[in-house]
Chain A
Amino acid sequence: MRAWRRWLGGALCAGVLVMLGIARLGLPGSPGLTREALERLGDSGVTNPVTAALLNFRGYDTLLEVIVLLLAVVGVWSLPGAPASRSAVATHPALPPLLRWVLPVLILAAGHLLWLGSFAPGGAFQGGALLGGAVVLLLLAGAGGAALRRALAVGPVVGPTVFLAVAAGVMARTGGLLQYPPAQAGAWILVIEAAALVSVGFTLGALFLGAHPRQDAPDEHG
């Protein structure tokens, strides 16, 4: 590492920090969109303003985000010569019996977080992260069976599919993208969140696995 590059980089970053600070000082104190969001909270179908923003007011952001996740998985799967199967990694003998206790708790907690999201901090992504952790633990414990691999291959598509189907169905009725009828908004949001939870969980698991789940199935390598 040449020293001048380090100094140049340091100077650049110090300059950026000063500019950011000046920009921040010029920013007026503002409540942003708090008032607007809270005013329409009653129409959103949920009482947690963050979930309302995620899945109702700015639902298209979340729709695109779920598709970005799918693109990341497809990108990883399409790279040739992906890392070898994780079944070769030695499993600690304590992990499988521990998982028998931890796995149901993780799945229950993920569902609980999903349900919480409509009125308190929580939601599909927090629950999906827990489900993803459960899938990673399963893979680390050497549970690379056919059922899990099929779920890892199909799971990432569930969220975008359900999200797009709901968006299309709602658009046919109200004419706006993700413009739910206020009376049914809560139910649609829960449907989308449940699908997104499954999708996020299995997407994280698939990203951890690396290669396409069908590519390095254990029965192909003996």
Chain B
Amino acid sequence: MADPALLSQVAYDLGGMGLFCLGLFGVVTAPHLLRKILALNVMGSGVFMVLMALAHRSAAPVPDPIPQAMVLTGIVVSVGATALALALALRLRAATGRTSLDEGEDGQP
């Protein structure tokens, strides 16, 4: 594991996959919608990190531009999706007073 390129590849892969799973944990367990939306963004960041690492997984002198373009597209789409999700969450609170999707819990910690 002395090769720094391999080491950084492993670090990026593990970091990205770890972020994805941390985000998934948040989406599954956090009742508050704001936390769920934030957790979804953490998942997305993990996916972007893995994609960026995959773009440079060979000895080629330049990284693959296609995954980089996909990440750039994905970042913008995730910002739009987050804004729409936040607007929907605000609308839900205005309509029902709840900040969670569960009937029993109000989402307040």
A residues at B contact (CB < 8 Å):
1, 5-6, 9-10, 12-14, 16-17, 20-21, 24, 27, 29-35, 37-38, 49-50, 52-54, 57-58, 61-62, 65, 68-69, 71-73, 75-76, 79-83, 123, 125, 128, 200, 203-204, 207-208, 210
Contact = CB atoms under 8 A, between A and B. Distances in A.
Given A10-B25, A13-B25, A62-B73, A81 B55 contact: no
B69 A54 contact: yes
B67 to A, nearest CB: 7
6 contacts: A12-B28, A16-B21, A27-B57, A37-B64, A49-B65, A82-B87
Q: B interface, how many residues as a size bin?
A: 35 or more
- The binding surface of chain B is classed by DSSP as helix
- The binding surface of chain A is classed by DSSP as helix
Contacts of A52: 65
A33 B66 contact: yes
Nearest to B24: A13
Given A31-B58, A34-B64, A207 B21 contact: no
Contacts of A68: 77, 80
Most central of A12, A62, A72, A81 by chain B CB within 10 Å: A72
Nearest to B76: A125
A204 B79 contact: yes
Given A13-B21, A79-B87, A82-B87, A65 B58 contact: no
Nearest to B31: A1
B57 A76 contact: no
Contacts of B7: none
A31 B64 CA distance: 7
A48 to B, nearest CB: 8
B18 A17 contact: yes
A106 B83 CA distance: 23
B38 to A, nearest CB: 16
B29 A5 contact: yes
